[in-house]
C-alpha cells in the first residue's frame, strides 16, 4: 500500500495546482494520473485566463459579469472567490515563468472576450492551456512532488457508513497501466479529485479521449451529490470529423457562416440580426443545427465557416493555428476552401458538489476543476473562466486538504433544511443500478459498499477492502471470454446522447435517452475484456471508463428532463423561457444505494456586499 498525506487524482491544471499548494503547506503529496501530466487535456485550452489585474478593472466587475453570464445559476460566494483569487493566481503563474503574451511595456497582455465588461483575459498566444499546464508541471518537478503516471484510479476507498455525510475517504485504488498491478493508495489527510471533463459522453466533443469523467462518477457512487449536470456547453465551431476546436477568433476576425445554399444564415434567417456570427455560443450552435435540420446543411451534417475573404496575409498573421488545424485534422486548406464546422460538446458546467475550499460532502474528499461544481459557471460558462477556475479552486483544495487553516466556506454541501425534494418526475425506465443477484455484476464497479455491508471504518482496512473489491472486479472482467465489448456500448451511449441530449432537447428525446442508457447499462452486465494481457491493457481501462460514462450520461439526462425551463445552455423545446420563480435552484443527484435521487438546493445570490438581482439575458 502506498501512503501519502495528500493524494491528487489527475495531473491537469487543477491537479497540478492542488499538488503544489498542498506541498507548500508542507504535506507529502503525490499525483496519480492515468496519463502523464503533460498529456492532460488542460493543454488543449486556447483562450485565456480572466483576471482583474489592471487599473480600471476590479474583481467585483469580474464577479458581476460571471454572475450575469451564468444566467443567475452560479453561487455568489463561489463566483466572488473566483474573481478575488484569480489576479494573484494568474500573476503567480507569471512568476513561475509562464510565457504570457506581452504588452509594449513588458507587462502581461489582456484582450476582450465575450460577456466581459473589461478586456481582462490574459493569454499566451492561442495556446494558453498548453503553457499553463507545462508551467505548472515544471513547478511540480522543481518541488520533487511524486507523480504516479499511467496509474488509473478506478475507485475510492470510503468508509461504509449508511449516511453519506458520515463517510470518510481514506484513499483510492489504482491500477498500474504498465504492469496490471492493482494497489491501494492511502491518504492520511485527503484525496483531491481533479479528473476533468466528461466529453466522451458524446460522440462529438472537443474533449480528449481520456475525458471520461472518472472522478465525478466515482464520487457520485461513493455518495457525493452531482450538481447541475444538465448544463453542458456546446461550442459552435468544431471540425466535423474530429471535434477539434476552431477558435471563436475566426468569427472575431470576421469569419462568416454559410449554409449549403450559400446564405449567411445568422443574418438572413434572423438568428441574431445584431450580432450575426458573433452571437453567443449557444445561439450560434442552435442556429447551425436549425439550418442542418431544415435541410440547408452540407451533407446533412455541418455548415461552412469561411475566412478566405480575410486574405492570406491577415489569416497567416492572426489565425495561423487555424490553418494548421483545418489542414491537419480535416484535410481542408482554409485559404482555398471554407471550413466545415458544427457544434460539439465542449465543457461540463456541472459536477461534483463542493464548497469554496474544494471540500465535498464526504470528509477527506475534495474536488477541483472541471470535474467539480463549486458553481462558478451556472448554466453558461464565459470564455476565459475555465482556467482561473482550475488554479483558484485547485490551490484552495490543495491547501485545505493539507490541513492549512482556511476560512469557513459559505456554500454548504449535502442536504440542509433548505433543500427541496423532487417529486413527480416521470421516467420511462427505472434509472440507476441493475438489480441482480448475479455476482458478476460486481464487475461493473457499481457496488461500493465494503465487504458486502460490514461496517468498515478503520483507514487501512477501508483501503484494503476497496483494493480487494477492485481486484475481484477486474478479474471478473478479464476472465469472461465472451459477451459485449465496451466499444459497442460506448458508441451506442454516445449516439443516443448526441441525438437526444444535445443542443436541442425535448421531453420525448430525453425519455428516449433514458431508455437507451438503461439498455446500455443492462447490456454492460455482459461486458468483457478481450485482451488477456496485464501489460498496458487499454481494453480494460476503456471498459471501466465506459461504466463511468453510463452513470454520467444518466445524470445529465435526468437533470435535463427535470429542468423544464430554458436557461443558458439548457434549451427545452416545450419550455422556451427562463423560469426564475421556479428554477433559481441547483439540480442535485445522489446515488442512494444505486438509485439516483433528485433534489434541489437554492442558488446563493447574496454576495459579500450585495445581492445579484436576476436580469433578462438578452441574446
Partner 1 sequence: MSTQVPEEKEQSETEQEVNAETEAEITEGASYGDQRRSQRDAQRRESVSGAPVDIEGESFELKVFRYDPEVEGKMEPRFDDFAVPKQKGMTVLDALIYARDRYDTTLTFRHSCRQAVCGSDALFINGRQRLGCQTQISDLEEPVRVEPLPHQDVVKDLVVDMEHFYDQMHAVEPFFQPDEEPDGDLEEYRQTRENRENIKMSTRCIWCGACMSSCNIAAEDNQYLGPAAINKAYRFAMDEREGEDMKEHRLNVMDQEHGVWRCQTQFSCTNVCPKDIPLTEHIQELKREAVKQNLKFW
Site string for partner 1, 17-36 (x = CB under 8 A): ------------------xx
Contact 235, 245 (CB under 8 A): yes
119 binds partner 1 (CB under 8 A): no
Q: How far is the CB of 206 from partner 1 (least distance, A)?
A: 8
Of 127-135, 410-418, 431-439, 498-506, which segment contacts partner 1 by CB under 8 A?
A: 127-135
Cα–Cα distance measured from residue 175 to residue 460, given in angstroms and rounded to the nearest whole number: 18
209 binds partner 1 (CB under 8 A): yes
**Nearer Cβ to partner 1, position 61 or 523?**
523
**Nearer Cβ to partner 1, position 139 or 285?**
139
In the region spanning residues 210 to 229, those forming contacts with partner 1, defined by CB under 8 A, are: 210
**3-class DSSP assignment, residue 144:** coil
Q: Residues with Cβ < 8 Å from 615, sequence gap 6 or more?
A: 68, 72
Q: How far is the CB of 182 from partner 1 (least distance, A)?
A: 16
**Nearer Cβ to partner 1, position 278 or 332?**
332
Q: How far is the CB of 221 from partner 1 (least distance, A)?
A: 23
Q: How far is the CB of 580 from partner 1 (least distance, A)?
A: 37
The secondary structure of 70-118, three-state, reads CCCCCCHHHHHHHHHHHHHHHHHHHHCCCCCCECCCCCECEECCCCCCC
Residue 446's nearest CA partner among 431, 462, 424, 456 is 431
Q: How far is the CB of 395 from partner 1 (least distance, A)?
A: 16
Helical ranges in 303-385 per DSSP H: 312-318, 320-330
Q: Which of 17, 251, 281, 567 is catalytic?
A: 281
**Nearer Cβ to partner 1, position 143 or 610?**
143
In the region spanning residues 473 to 532, those forming contacts with partner 1, defined by CB under 8 A, are: 482-488, 491-492, 519, 522-523, 526, 529-532
Contact 150, 177 (CB under 8 A): yes
In the region spanning residues 556 to 575, those forming contacts with partner 1, defined by CB under 8 A, are: none
In the region spanning residues 74 to 113, those forming contacts with partner 1, defined by CB under 8 A, are: 87-88, 91, 94-97, 99-108
Q: How far is the CB of 499 from partner 1 (least distance, A)?
A: 11
Contact 365, 338 (CB under 8 A): no
Q: How many CB atoms lie within 10 A of CB 447?
A: 18
Cα–Cα distance measured from residue 568 to residue 381, given in angstroms and rounded to the nearest whole number: 9
408 binds partner 1 (CB under 8 A): no
In the region spanning residues 164 to 183, those forming contacts with partner 1, defined by CB under 8 A, are: 178
Residue selected from 538, 573, 592, 595 as contacting partner 1 according to rule CB under 8 A: 538
**Nearer Cβ to partner 1, position 282 or 554?**
554
Residue 512's nearest CA partner among 492, 540, 484 is 492
First and final C-alpha spacing in the chain: 55
Residue 398's nearest CA partner among 24, 1, 4 is 24
Residue 448's nearest CA partner among 609, 218, 251, 143 is 218
Cα–Cα distance measured from residue 235 to residue 318, given in angstroms and rounded to the nearest whole number: 21
In the region spanning residues 129 to 158, those forming contacts with partner 1, defined by CB under 8 A, are: 130-131, 134-135, 138-139, 141-142
Q: How far is the CB of 487 from partner 1 (least distance, A)?
A: 4
Q: Residues with Cβ < 8 Å from 195, sequence gap 6 or more?
A: 9, 10, 15, 153, 213, 214, 215, 216, 369, 371
Q: How far is the CB of 11 from partner 1 (least distance, A)?
A: 12
163 binds partner 1 (CB under 8 A): no
Q: How far is the CB of 219 from partner 1 (least distance, A)?
A: 22
**Nearer Cβ to partner 1, position 42 or 413?**
42
Contact 117, 89 (CB under 8 A): no
**Nearer Cβ to partner 1, position 106 or 424?**
106
| CA gyration radius, the chain | 23
What beta strand segments (E) does 168-213 contain? 169-176, 182-193
Binding residues for partner 1, total number by CB under 8 A: 80
Residue selected from 241, 316, 436, 608 as contacting partner 1 according to rule CB under 8 A: 241
Beta bridge partners of 182: 175
Q: Kindly tell me the sign of the dihedral angle through the C-alpha atoms of 202, 204, 206, 207.
A: positive
Q: How far is the CB of 364 from partner 1 (least distance, A)?
A: 29
Q: Residues with Cβ < 8 Å from 292, sequence gap 6 or more?
A: 300, 301, 302, 303, 342
332 binds partner 1 (CB under 8 A): yes
**Nearer Cβ to partner 1, position 95 or 270?**
95
Integer angstrom CA distances of residue 364 from 180, 187, 231, 355, 450: 27, 9, 27, 13, 18
**Is 275 buried (19+), middle (13-18) or exposed (0-12) by CB count in 10 A?**
middle
**Nearer Cβ to partner 1, position 280 or 537?**
537
**Nearer Cβ to partner 1, position 1 or 141?**
141
**281 flagged as catalytic:** yes
Site string for partner 1, 436-475 (x = CB under 8 A): ----------------------------------------
Cα–Cα distance measured from residue 144 to residue 240, given in angstroms and rounded to the nearest whole number: 42
Site string for partner 1, 275-314 (x = CB under 8 A): ------------------------xxx-------------
Q: How many CB atoms lie within 10 A of CB 577?
A: 9
**Nearer Cβ to partner 1, position 495 or 610?**
495
Q: How far is the CB of 465 from partner 1 (least distance, A)?
A: 28
- Residues marked active site are found at 281
Amino acid at each position: 500500500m502506498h501512503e501519502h498525506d495528500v493524494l491528487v487524482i489527475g495531473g491537469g491544471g487543477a491537479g497540478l495546482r492542488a499538488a503544489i499548494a498542498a506541498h507548500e503547506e508542507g504535506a507529502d503529496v503525490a499525483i496519480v494520473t492515468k496519463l502523464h501530466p503533460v498529456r492532460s487535456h488542460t493543454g488543449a485550452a486556447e483562450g485565456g485566463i480572466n483576471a482583474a489585474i489592471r487599473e480600471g478593472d476590479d474583481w467585483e466587475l469580474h464577479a458581476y459579469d460571471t454572475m450575469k453570464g451564468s444566467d443567475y445559476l452560479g453561487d455568489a460566494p463561489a463566483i466572488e472567490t473566483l474573481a478575488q483569487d484569480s489576479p494573484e493566481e494568474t500573476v503567480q503563474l507569471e512568476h513561475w515563468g509562464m510565457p504570457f503574451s506581452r504588452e509594449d511595456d513588458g507587462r502581461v497582455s489582456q484582450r476582450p472576450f465575450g460577456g466581459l465588461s473589461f478586456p481582462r483575459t490574459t493569454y499566451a498566444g492561442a495556446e494558453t492551456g498548453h503553457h499553463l499546464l507545462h508551467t505548472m508541471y515544471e513547478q511540480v518537478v522543481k518541488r520533487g512532488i511524486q507523480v504516479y503516471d499511467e496509474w488509473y484510479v478506478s475507485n475510492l476507498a470510503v468508509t461504509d457508513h449508511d449516511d453519506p455525510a458520515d463517510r470518510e475517504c481514506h484513499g483510492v485504488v489504482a491500477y498500474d497501466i504498465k504492469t496490471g498491478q492493482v494497489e491501494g493508495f492511502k491518504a492520511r489527510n485527503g484525496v483531491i479529485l481533479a479528473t476533468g471533463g466528461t466529453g466522451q459522453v458524446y460522440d462529438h466533443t472537443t474533449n480528449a479521449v481520456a475525458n471520461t469523467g472518472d472522478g465525478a462518477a466515482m464520487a457520485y457512487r461513493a455518495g457525493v451529490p452531482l450538481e447541475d449536470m444538465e448544463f453542458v456547453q456546446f461550442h459552435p465551431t468544431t471540425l466535423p470529423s474530429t471535434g477539434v476546436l476552431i477558435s471563436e477568433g475566426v468569427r472575431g476576425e470576421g469569419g462568416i457562416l454559410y449554409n449549403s445554399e450559400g446564405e449567411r444564415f445568422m443574418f438572413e434567417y434572423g438568428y441574431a440580426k445584431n450580432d450575426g456570427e458573433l452571437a453567443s455560443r449557444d445561439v450560434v450552435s442552435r442556429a447551425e443545427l436549425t439550418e442542418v435540420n431544415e435541410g440547408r446543411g452540407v451533407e446533412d451534417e455541418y455548415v461552412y465557416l469561411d475566412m478566405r475573404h480575410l486574405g492570406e496575409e491577415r489569416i497567416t498573421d492572426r489565425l495561423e493555428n487555424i490553418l494548421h488545424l483545418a489542414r491537419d485534422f480535416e484535410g481542408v486548406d482554409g485559404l482555398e476552401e471554407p471550413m466545415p464546422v458544427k457544434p460539439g460538446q465542449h465543457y461540463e458546467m456541472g459536477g461534483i458538489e463542493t464548497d469554496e475550499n474544494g471540500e465535498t460532502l464526504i470528509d477527506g474528499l475534495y474536488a477541483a476543476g472541471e470535474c467539480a461544481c463549486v458553481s462558478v459557471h451556472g448554466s453558461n460558462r464565459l470564455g476565459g473562466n475555465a482556467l482561473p477556475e482550475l488554479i483558484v479552486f485547485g490551490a484552495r483544495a490543495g491547501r485545505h486538504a493539507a490541513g492549512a487553516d482556511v476560512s469557513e466556506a459559505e456554500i454548504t454541501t449535502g442536504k440542509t433544511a433548505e433543500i427541496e425534494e423532487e417529486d413527480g418526475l416521470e421516467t420511462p425506465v427505472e434509472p440507476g443500478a441493475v438489480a441482480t443477484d448475479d455476482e458478476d455484476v460486481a464487475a461493473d464497479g457499481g457496488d461500493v459498499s465494503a465487504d458486502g455491508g460490514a461496517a468498515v471504518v478503520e483507514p487501512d482496512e477501508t483501503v484494503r477492502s476497496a483494493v480487494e473489491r477492485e481486484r475481484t472486479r477486474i478479474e471478473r472482467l478479464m476472465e469472461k471470454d465472451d459477451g459485449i465489448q465496451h466499444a459497442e456500448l460506448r458508441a451506442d451511449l454516445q449516439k443516443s446522447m448526441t441525438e437526444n441530449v444535445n443542443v436541442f432537447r425535448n421531453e420525448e428525446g430525453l425519455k428516449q435517452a433514458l431508455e437507451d442508457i438503461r439498455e446500455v447499462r443492462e447490456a454492460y452486465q455482459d461486458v468483457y475484456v478481450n485482451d488477456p494481457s496485464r501489460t498496458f491493457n487499454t481494453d480494460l481501462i476503456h471498459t471501466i471508463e465506459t461504466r463511468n460514462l453510463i452513470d454520467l450520461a444518466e445524470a445529465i439526462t435526468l437533470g435535463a428532463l427535470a429542468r423544464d425551463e430554458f436557461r443558458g445552455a439548457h434549451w427545452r423545446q416545450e419550455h422556451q423561457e427562463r423560469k426564475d420563480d421556479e428554477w433559481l435552484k441547483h439540480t442535485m443527484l445522489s446515488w442512494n444505494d444505486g438509485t439516483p435521487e433528485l433534489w434541489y438546493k437554492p442558488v446563493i445570490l447574496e454576495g459579500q456586499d450585495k445581492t445579484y438581482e436576476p436580469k433578462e439575458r438578452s441574446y
